[in-house]
Structures are given as C-alpha cells and as structure tokens.
Structure 1
Amino acid sequence: MFDVFSLPEGVIVSTQQKFSDDRGWLYEGYNISRCPTELRQLTISESDANTLRGMHVHYKRHDYVMVVSGALILGLVDMRPNSDSFRKSSCLILKPEEACTVYIPLGIGHGFAFQEKTRYLTGLSVAWSPEDEFLFRYDDPVLQFDWGVNEPILSEKDRNAGSFESAVRQYLEAASGSQGG
C-alpha cells in the first residue's frame, strides 16, 4: 500500500483491526491509547470528484484523518527546516475498506484530492482556527505530486495560495511566536 520510510518524520499511518461478518465490517477509528494526541474536535467532510483541498500547514494543531466512503489522496510534506525529513513529500491513498488512520503532526503540510465523491473525518487536537492555517499551492514544484486529478476544483483561497517557501516562513514565524508567549 505505501512505504512507511517514504513518509515525513512523525507521520503515523496505522492499520486498525477490522471485524467483518455477513452484516458488514467495523473498526475502531480512534483510541487515545494508540494516538500521540487527544482529539478536541471532529469534522466530517464530503468532497466531490475532482476536488482538491490544500495545501496547508498548522503550528498549533495535530490532525488525525480517516476515510468513511470513497477514496482520499493525501499529500504530505515536511515543512520543519530542523527536521531530518525537511521537504520530504509523499502521497497516500486512503480507502475505508483498508481501515487506515493517519496522524499528521505539527509542521507537516497536507492536502487532499478526490477522484470520486468521498466522505472523511478529521480529528483535531485543538479547535479549528483560521490563524493556524498557512496555505501554499498544491502544484508547487517542491511537492512533485501526482494528484491524479485533472483540472481540479479549488476554493478561491487554494487557487490564490502562495508558495511552499512563503508558507514555511509563515509557519516558522507563528510557531516561534507561540513558544515565546
């Protein structure tokens, strides 16, 4: 499915134990004893085919992602200059039948693309805030992603996002300010 060595440092992909019978299946999507952070908010999203959301990075919030229906292409890139995996990027495809969850730590840029209508959950370690979201272009040359989506449907803010380098500067400035205050 994916090579864990290709992931940016700190990203955790977990395959949960899945229980199936004649009625269907279930898996435990979140258990605090197996996640590096406690979740404070849960968002449920639906995206249409050919939609692309992101890229963005957070300095206050960890994310935890799982797919409910459809398929999510998750692009990841390390934006922490002091990290051994700075600029390392990778893409994963998440589907509900694979029972995978992904933990995304602070400083890991991420975005989502969809080739089909998809529903997914995102757990947040702190409540969502626009001040904790720095955007950059999904097609920035640093990324070298194949999103698998031609002519993506973008929000206005994603269409007008800046460069990877600009987002790294914004992230560092905000992160250093939050540690000092």
Structure 2
Amino acid sequence: MNVTETKLKGCFIIEPRLFRDPRGYFFESFNEARFGELTDTQIHFVQDNQSFSSHGVIRGLHTQTGDFAQAKLVRALQGTVLDIAVDVRPDSPTFGQHIAVILSQENQLQLFIPRGFLHGFSVLSETATFFYKCDNYYHKASEKGVAYNDPFLNIDWQIAASKTAVSEKDVQLPLFNDIFHS
C-alpha cells in the first residue's frame, strides 16, 4: 500500500497494491499494523457503514464530537464520489480548510480522515456504493454538521446546483461560523 499525507495533517490518501490476473484482482484493503507503521497512527475500527446513492446526492458535512468523535477510512466500492474532509480541530494550522479527493471503483483509493474533521461526499457517477470504517460507534447526541453549501468553506462539489439531492436534515444544517467560529 502507498500512503500519502494530504495538506491536512493526519489525513491520508491510501492506494492499495492490486494483484491482477485473468480472473480479476485482489488487494488488502486495510492492515492495522501496516497502516500504523506507514502513518504513525494507531487506529482500531469498531463499526462499518455502507450507503448507496444516485448521481447528484450530497451527503454531509457531518462529524461526531466529544467522547464519540470518529476517525473514518472511506472508499467507493462502486461508482465515483468526490470525498470531502474539513479540518475543524481548533488548534490546527489548517482549521477551516478542506481537501477533495476522487474515490472510485477504478482508482481504488481510500481516504483516512482522523477525528476532528467534518466529512461529506457527492456522487459523480450514475450511482455509487460508499463504504466507511469508523473507530467509534455512532452516537446521535454527539452529531454535528455544517451546510454543504456554506459560503465560508466554498466547496466545489462538482454537481450543478439544479442536480443536487440533499436530505432535509442536511439542508437545515447551520453555517460553519455559527458553530466553529473561525
């Protein structure tokens, strides 16, 4: 596996080593010991989640805080998504900055997002199956979120505004500066 740290400290793009033959391919999607060696990050995942979405769906921007904060390892099993991570660690030099990474069944890239980040994605293909491993359990009372179209964050979701599909819950999320005070 090849691991590259992004401009957001602790956020890594992971490129697996694929073994191809006439039958298809095989790869190890995660190895806790190897990941720790390559990133100097100790992680133990306790919950896996999966979603299926159609073109134009935007999910996010979400986080969990306090004792239920979550680190995530995400990837697209089918289709193509634009994955977004926003640094909301108050003492971070990249506080309020984001990265955008294309994750697809073709490139097999994964993104590791540490605790202290907002996360979301948009579906660029006709459909997408999205998978993520979490190092902490979901806890509704610890949920926070920011509007996907927040002008301060200025994220290009690569979806025309007329084609977006966003949940009612996500449409009602507050603006970044209303909860994080940049």
Q: 1:39 & 1:98 partners in 2: Cα distance?
A: 23
- Whether 2:54 is the aligned partner of 1:48: answer yes
Q: 2:105 & 2:19 partners in 1: Cα distance?
A: 13
Structure 2 partner of 1:64: 73
Structure 2 partner of 1:125: 135
Give the superposition deviation at 1:94.
0.6
Give the superposition deviation at 1:69.
0.7
Give the superposition deviation at 1:32.
1.1
Q: Which amino acid aligns with 1:119?
A: T
Q: How many residues align?
A: 166
TM-score for both structures, normalised by structure 2 = 0.84
Q: Percent identity?
A: 25
Q: Deviations over 1:47-78 (max 9, x none)?
A: 11110001112222111101111011011211
Q: 2:77 & 2:85 partners in 1: Cα distance?
A: 20
Unaligned ranges ≥5, structure 1: 170-181
Structure 1 partner of 2:180: 168
| C-alpha contact (below 8 Å) 2:5/2:13 kept by paired residues | no
Unaligned ranges ≥5, structure 2: none
TM-score for both structures, normalised by structure 1 = 0.85
Q: 1:88 & 1:5 partners in 2: Cα distance?
A: 15
Output aligned runs, 1:23-172, within 5 Å. Answer: 23-33=23-33, 34-35=35-36, 36=41, 37-59=43-65, 60-116=69-125, 117-150=127-160, 151=162, 152-168=164-180
Give the superposition deviation at 1:5.
6.9
Give the superposition deviation at 1:164.
0.7
Q: 1:84 & 1:163 partners in 2: Cα distance?
A: 20
| C-alpha contact (below 8 Å) 1:67/1:95 kept by paired residues | yes
- Whether 2:26 is the aligned partner of 1:13: answer no
Give the superposition deviation at 1:167.
3.4
Q: 1:49 & 1:167 partners in 2: Cα distance?
A: 29
Give the superposition deviation at 1:96.
2.2
Q: Which amino acid aligns with 1:85?
A: T
Q: Which amino acid aligns with 1:126?
A: N
Q: Which amino acid aligns with 1:17?
A: R
Query: CA distance change for structure 1 residues 28 and 17 in 2, over 3 Å: closer, same or farther?
Result: same
Q: Deviations over 1:124-180 (max 9, x none)?
A: 1111111232111111112221111123101111011101123326xxxxxxxxxxx
| C-alpha contact (below 8 Å) 1:17/1:99 kept by paired residues | no
Secondary structure in structure 2 of the residue aligned to 1:166: helix
Give the superposition deviation at 1:6.
5.4
Superposition RMSD in Å: 1.6
Higher strand share: 2
Query: CA distance change for structure 1 residues 25 and 167 in 2, over 3 Å: closer, same or farther?
Result: farther
